[in-house]
Amino acid sequence: MLHKEFLSGNYRNTITSFFEEESNNISRANLPSLVGSLSFTGRIFEAEKLFFQNNSDVDLEERSACLFFLGLGHSRKSKYSKARLIFKENQKTLNINSTSLQKFYVYQGIAFYLFFIGKFELALKWTNKSFENAVASKNIYARSLATDLLGHVKLRLGEINLGIDSLKQAAELSRRLGNKSISESVEIAELQYRAQYGYSRDAIFKELLSKFANIKTEDSYSRAVVGLELARQLTLRGQYAHSEEVLDNISISIFSSENRRQEILLNLRFAENYYQLGRDSQAWNYLRSARRCLDFEADKSFEMQILGFEAKLFKDEKKAEIISQLLARTKSFNSVLNQNILKRQSLLAVETFNHEDLFHDFLVSLESELDPVKKIINSSYWSLLFKYIEVPRGKDCLYLDLERNLVIIFSEKKIDIPEGGLTPLDLKLLLNIVNGSCSKEELCKMVWGYEYDSYRHDMMIYTALSSLRKNLASASSWIETTEKGYAFSTERMLKIRDSLTPVADKSEISDERKFLLNLSSDLNLRQIKALSHLRKHEAIDVSEYKIIFKVSDITASRDLRALKEKGLVISIGKARAIKYILGGSHYEN
């Protein structure tokens, strides 16, 4: 009964059923199930006590199973030295009569420990031996564990597709066994890796959100795994407040589990969030906390992550010193993730990249991309925008890209990109407010060209402001109502394409803003873009207009004629040879 509950992944039920029995006598067959259940639920010291009090009559197969579970339990508690001793003791139980199942438990423990300390090549050797004996034993439970570890090792060695396939096979074996706990843990691991390596990014992100909200596993370790990867994805997507909420949610369970590795990752996730928000001192504090959790023998991968982060925070001589340490660690430890990071920074001299790491491929592709901003926006990895748009981290900023009719809102809570952008009227109203036209009288004159009449024009102004605030989405409150009328918050910045000026300093207005403020509010977006195009190019004709804006000949001709009638462009030539250039003051700018 207890063994069946254990194989089904009902670890708490296994423990409860035993302690509810009147006799509380432990049979040889049940001892591994009880030791495993206590180990997997974090009660490692109870598991150890139970084993040493009752192991005198168990056979070698059962003894090896118990030692394997104890080694796993101590590893999860970050007691690496203790785990290593247990796995070594287990190896000593092997003899010429050892069964395939006993060999599996011994080899699986050795492979697991080698994987855990980052010796992936050696781990693969022992994992293959473990897998062979699991198959020979015809034990589905053993096969599921061996296939699971094989997937993890292959993934760390860069065989990402093969690794993911192995995890899928392990999950299927666990389902056949009826073990929901293992199958869910394996599925979570697969989900984590696919997110980490950039596979099906939008679908995976939704899966992570759903899994975190609905996870039912008895194993708090798995919930923390999901939460840590979800927080990473949220930060990548510029959803900083949501990321911090997730991290706060899992913090207590991580600290109570005493799993130092998850604590390291927790601190690294907080550090990345604060770095993106421009709070370098807070990021540094979390990095120091992560470093204090390190076991320098077993946690080489995490030490390299911390060093890489420190290299982002420091400059000049300190940065050079950190990079030197990073490269020195690479000689004794390397994984596909670390290799790719070092290659992207030109710190590792190799000719080939691992192209199964799709996230890495994406980052590399940005360097040669003609329009990296567009590619980043389509990917949803919006935190990467800081590298290509000169907006200071930690500053609330409204970014306008007129050619794309794109609005990007950088704030402490998140990066937001409202759909649809701004209308020409929104744009002219916003720029007049930003540059000092704050009263109703001034707005009425500057935006619409009317002398203000409260009876006739108040509703027109209120409607236009309502539309502007709606289209600014999460930045709607940045348009403030004042005693004089309206103002753009002095605590925020406005950036139009490449010129960044504090909004509070209105003494200097860029040529680009002057140009935009002089445009008529009844122009359509194509016409505004065409005028911006003409500020950079000598002329435009109907054919070029048609190609740029994907419209018909009739629409292109009508738009250009309207600009000519308003005196914004002048025509040169006749018939089909007509070209349009900027006219009047716009040409002079």
Q: What are the DSSP calls for 208-251, one per residue?
A: HHHHHHH---S-HHHHHHHHHHHHHHHHHTT-HHHHHHHHHHHH
Residues 545 and 573 in one domain: yes
Phi and psi torsions of 398, nearest 5°:
-105, 120
38 within some domain: no
Q: Is residue 534 part of a domain?
A: yes
Please check the confidence at residue 1 and state whether its pLDDT lies above 50.
yes
Q: Given the DSSP bridges, would you call strands 479-481 and 569-572 parallel, antiparallel or unpaired? A: unpaired
Give the whole-angstrom CA distance, residue 39 versus residue 154: 26
Same structural domain, 462 and 497? yes
**CA distances (Å), 106 to each of 103, 138, 152, 439, in order?**
5, 16, 18, 80
Q: Do 513 and 402 belong to one domain? A: yes
pLDDT at 586: 45
Both tokens assigned to 378 = 């389509």
Please say whether the beta carbons of 477 and 491 come within 8 A: no
Q: Which residues are within 8 A (CB) of 490 and not within 5 positions of it... i.e. 6 or more apart?
A: 503, 504
pLDDT of residue 501: 46
Per-residue b or e along 156-195, where b marks 16 or more CB atoms closer than 10 Å to that residue's CB:
bbbbbeebbebbebbbebbbebebbbbbbbbbbbbbbbbb
In-domain check, residue 580: yes
The answer to whether the CB of 259 falls within 8 A of the CB of 78 is yes
Same structural domain, 470 and 529: no
Residues 484 and 562 in one domain: no
Residue 552: how many other CB atoms lie within 10 Å: 9
Phi, psi of 480 (to 5 degrees): -100, 145
Give the pair of three-digit tokens for residue 173. 């074996």
**Got the DSSP string for 71-105?**
HHHHHHTT-HHHHHHHHHHHHTT--TT--HHHHHH
Number of domains in the chain: 2
| Residue indicated by tokens 């420091």 | 314
> pLDDT of 333-348, one tens digit each?
666 666 667 676 666 6
pLDDT of 8: 82
Which residues have a Cβ under 8 Å from the Cβ of 270 and sit 6 or more positions away?
244, 247, 283, 286
Q: Is 3 a domain residue?
A: no
Q: What is the DSSP string of 114-170?
A: HHHTT-HHHHHHHHHHHHHHHHHHT-HHHHHHHHHHHHHHHHHTT-HHHHHHHHHHH
Question: What is the rounded distance in angstroms from the CA atom of residue 446 to the CA atom of residue 440?
Answer: 10
Please give the pLDDT value at position 308: 83
Q: Residues 533, 579: one domain? A: yes
Token code pair at residue 504: 């509070």
CB 41 within 8 A of CB 79: no
* Sheet strand arrangement including 415-416: 415-416, 406-410, 397-401, 493-496, 499-502
Cβ–Cβ under 8 Å, residues 409 and 417: yes
What's the whole-number mean pLDDT along residues 414-436? 87
Token reading at 350: 């190799």
Tokens describing residue 476: 């709607």
pLDDT at residue 498, as a whole number = 46
User: CA distances (Å), 539 to each of 320, 518, 577, 579, 584, in order?
Assistant: 49, 20, 12, 6, 14
Rounded to 10 degrees, what is the CA torsion of 59, 61, 67, 72?
-160
Residue with tokens 């302690």: 19
- Domain C-terminal end among 470, 497, 517: 517
Cβ–Cβ under 8 Å, residues 550 and 521:
no
Which of 113, 115, 114, 150 lies closest to 130, judged by CA?
Answer: 150
Boundary (domain end) residue, out of 517, 536, 571: 517
Task: Choose the final residue of a domain: 484, 517, 550.
Answer: 517
Q: Are residues 424 and 502 in the same domain?
A: yes
Domain co-membership, 488 together with 574:
no
What are 540-584's pLDDT values in tens digits? Answer: 999 999 988 888 888 889 889 888 887 788 888 887 788 888 875
CA distance 531 to 541: 12
- pLDDT of res. 410: 95
Per-residue tokens: 203: 């679908």
Contacts of 325 (CB under 8 A, 6+ apart): 307
- pLDDT value at position 520? 54
In angstroms and rounded to an integer, the radius of gyration of the C-alpha atoms of the chain is 31
As a dihedral over the C-alpha atoms of residue 222, residue 227, residue 232, residue 236, rounded to 10 degrees, the angle is 130
CATH of the domain at 567: 1.10.10.10
Show the domain range for 572: 525-588
* 121 vs 464: CA distance, rounded Å: 65
pLDDT tens, residue by residue, 23-53:
566 777 788 999 998 998 888 999 999 899 8
The pLDDT tens digits of the residues spanning 15-31 come to 887 776 655 667 777 88
Domain shared by 487 and 552, yes or no: no
Examine residue 555 and state whether it is found in any structural domain, yes or no: yes
Predicted confidence at residue 383, as pLDDT, reads: 96
Q: How far apart are CA 370 and CA 374, in angstroms?
A: 9
- Check pLDDT > 60 for residue 372: yes
pLDDT reported for residue 497: 67
pLDDT digits (tens, 9 = 90+) for 215-260: 765 557 788 999 999 999 999 999 999 999 999 999 998 998 888 8
Determine contact, residues 304/266, Cβ cutoff 8 Å: no
For 447-476, write each residue's pLDDT tens digit. 888 898 988 899 999 999 999 999 999 999
Residue 37 lies in a domain: no
Q: What is the mean pLDDT of the chain?
A: 85
CA 535 from chain center: how many Å? Answer: 38
Maximum mean pLDDT: which of 11-15, 126-130, 319-323, 554-558: 126-130
What residue type is 290 in one-letter code? A
Output DSSP code: residue 26: P
3-state SS of the chain: helix, strand, coil percent to 5?
65, 5, 30
pLDDT at 589 over 50: no
Q: 572 in the Ramachandran plot: left (φ > 0), alpha (ψ -120 to 50) or beta?
A: beta
Q: Where are the alpha helices (DSSP H) in 492-551?
A: 511-517, 525-534, 542-549
Work out the number of other CB atoms within 10 angstroms of the CB of residue 111: 27
User: Has residue 96 been placed in a domain?
Assistant: no
Flag whether 550 is in a domain.
yes
Tell me: do 403 and 497 sit in the same domain. Answer: yes
Indicate if 410 and 503 belong to the same structural domain. yes
- Say if residue 185's pLDDT is above 50: yes
User: Do residues 412 and 454 share a domain?
Assistant: yes
pTM: 0.81
Closest CA to 3 of 31, 23, 40: 31
